[in-house]
Structure 1
C-alpha cells in the first residue's frame, strides 16, 4: 500500500471516529459534519478549498438524485401511519408472535416499517408495545434494542431488493440493480436474523434475571387508536409488498433503480 493511500485511509477513519464521537456527545449535526469535512480537506492537495471543489458538488449531486425518493417515500410512510395501517401491522404481528416473543415481534415490525419507508416508526410502535411490556413487567430496553436492530440491519442493510437509499446508491455508480449479489445478501441476512433473535432473547432473559422490570414515565406515548377501529393489516402488508414488487418490476424493464423505486 502506497504512503498516500495509507494516509488517506487513516484520515478517513479519523473523520469517522470524530463524527461518531461528536454525535454521541450531542454536538449539532451541521457542526459535526463541518468539522469532519474540514479535517479531511486539510489533508488534500487543495486544502480547505476542497470543501467547494469536491465536497459541496458531491453533496449537491446526491441531493439532486435522492430528493424525490426521500420526499415521496416520506409522504408514503406518513400516509401509512396516518391511515392506521402501520399500527394495524404492528398489532397483528404482536398477536402472531405472542406477547412472550414481543422482542422478535418488534424486530419484524420495524423491518416492515423500514421497508415501507416509515421513518417515524418509533412513536407508533412504542405506543403499541409499551402496554404489552407493562403487562409482562418487561424492561423497555427490550423494545429499544429490537427496534434498533430492525431499523439498522436487515431491511436497511443486508436484505437484497429493499427499496432504500443504502441499497439504491451503489446502483447509480456500478450499473447494477437492487437485486445485485443475492447469495451474499441472503447469507448475511440469515446470519443477522439468527444473531439478532438470539441476542434479543438473551437480553430479555438477563433483564428478567436481574429483576429489571417496566418503568413508567410521564411522557410515554399514548395509544390514541382503538384496535378494533384499525384497518385490516393485510392492506398494510400489501402496501409494503407493492413498493418492493413494483420497484423490482420496473428495474426488470431496464429502468434505473432510483427511478424505479420513486415510481413504485
Structure 2
C-alpha cells in the first residue's frame, strides 16, 4: 500500500514541480527519490543486497539505456531540424502553405504547416520554433486570442502525424525493435485514425477559438513579440525535397536496417538540405552546433523521466499496476493501450513510455498471439495521449518558452487536443483492428 502511495505520489510530485517551472533534469531524480523512499528501496548500490534494486542503479540504468538506444536519432533529428530552420527551408514550406490556404484559414494553415514538417522528420521542438512567428502574425491579423497558439502548434505536431504509419518520428519506430514490425505497420487503420483525429481535432480547435472570440477575447500584443525577419527564402519545392528524402530513405531501408534506417534517413535529409539550399544558410556549422545542443537537452529531458520510470518499475506497486492493466477483460490491445498510455503519462514522455513499457509488455502479448502490426499501431497511437499531461517536456517548452503563455491560460486547449483526441483515436484503432481491418 505504501509503495502504491509512493508511486502515485511521485507522479503527482513530478507534475506539480514541472508546472511550477522546475527543470525536468531535477524533478525526475527528485520524484524518483520520493518513490524509492516510500517503497523502502535502498538508495545506493552499496546498501542493497545482491540483485536487489536500488535508487541510483535503477534511475541511471533507465537514463543511460535510453540515451544509448536513441542518441543518434535525437542528434540527427535535431540537426536536420536546425539546418532546415537556418537555411529558411522550414519557413519557406510553412509560408508556401500559408499563402496557398490564405488568411481566412489562418488556424488551418498553422496546423498543416506543423503537420508537413513533422511528418517530414523535423523535430517537434524545431517545428514549434519555426512556425510560431508565422502563427503569431496570423493570429494577430485575424484578431484571434493568442493563448490558442500552443494548441494549434501541438495539434499539428503531436497527434495525427507523430504516431502515424510511415512517420519518421521515434514514437513510430520504437515498437519495431520489440515487435519485429515496420514503420508502416497497420497503415490502413493508421490512415483512418489519422483522418479522424485531423478532422475532429480541427473542428474542436475551431470551436474553442470561436467560443473564446464570442466571449470577447481578442489578440493582445506584447512588447517582446518577435519581429518577423525579411530574408530571402529558398524555393518551397527545393525546401520540400529534403523532407521527401527522409521519408524515401526510411521506406527503402526499413526492412534491412530497421531502426537504424532512421539514422540514414535523417543524415540524408541533412545532406539534401545543405546541397539544395546552401546559399541560403546563415551559418551551417552554427546550425549543426545548435542542433547538437538541442539534441542533448531533448534527450536529457526525456531520459530524466525514463530514469524516473526505471525506478517506478522496480518498486512492488508497479508490478501490481501492470498486472491489473494487462489482465483487463477483452481484447489484449485494450490492456496494451492502457498500460503504455499510463506509463507514458507517468513519465511525461511518449517515447519514454514506450521504452519502459514495451520490454515488459511485448513478450507477454506476443506469447498470447496478438498481431504485432496491430499492437505496434495501437501502442504508438496510445503513447501520444496521456504523455501530454502538464509535465511533458514538449508541452512545457511550447507553452512557456516558445509562446510565452501560462499553463493556466493555454493548457486546457492543448490537453483537449493532445490527450483526449489521441485517446479517442486509440479507441477507434482498437475497434478497427478487432473488426479485422488492417490485419
TM-score, with length taken from structure 1: 0.86
Corresponding position: 1:132 with 2:138:
yes
Alpha-carbon distance between aligned partners in 2 of 1:53 and 1:38, rounded to the nearest angstrom: 12
Equivalent residue for 2:258?
256
Provide the C-alpha distance between the structure 2 equivalents of 1:56 and 1:150, rounded to a whole number of angstroms.
Answer: 34
* Aligned-pair Cα RMSD in Å: 2.4
Displacement after TM superposition at 1:13 (Å): 4.6
Assess if the C-alpha contact under 8 Å between 1:19 and 1:36 holds in 2.
yes
Residues 188-207 of structure 1 aligned to structure 2 (within 5 Å) = 188-207=193-212
- 1:233 maps to which residue? 236
1:169-188 to structure 2, matched below 5 A, reads: 169-188=174-193
* Residue correspondences, number: 254
Which sections of structure 2, spanning at least 5 residues, go unmatched?
Answer: 45-53, 266-439
| Change beyond 3 A, Cα 1:46–1:139 | closer
Gaps of 5+ in 1: none
- Structure 1 residue 78: deviation in Å? 0.6
> d(CA) in 2 for partners of 1:15 and 1:180?
35
Aligned pair 1:30/2:25, yes or no? Answer: yes
Distance in 2 (CA, whole Å) between partners of 1:44 and 1:245 is: 48
Greater relative CO, 1 or 2 (CA 8 Å, sep 6+): 2
The answer to whether structure 1 residue 214 and structure 2 residue 216 are counterparts is: no
Pairing 1:160–2:161 present: no
Shift of residue 144, structure 1, vs aligned partner: 2.3
Distance 1:54-1:174 versus aligned 2 partners, 3 A rule: farther
**1:66-90 deviations in Å (ceiling 9; x for gaps):** 1111111111111101111111111
Partner of 1:178: helix, strand, or coil? coil
Within a 5 Å distance, the mapping from 1:113-128 to structure 2 comes to 113-115=117-119, 116-118=121-123, 119-128=125-134
CA contact (8 A) 1:90 1:109 kept: yes
- CA–CA distance in 2 between the matches of 1:90 and 1:13? 42
Q: Is the 8 A contact 2:94 2:131 kept in 1?
A: yes
Q: Is the 8 A contact 1:15 1:40 kept in 2?
A: yes
Distance 1:199 1:142 in 2: 12
CA distance in 2, matches of 1:172, 1:40: 29
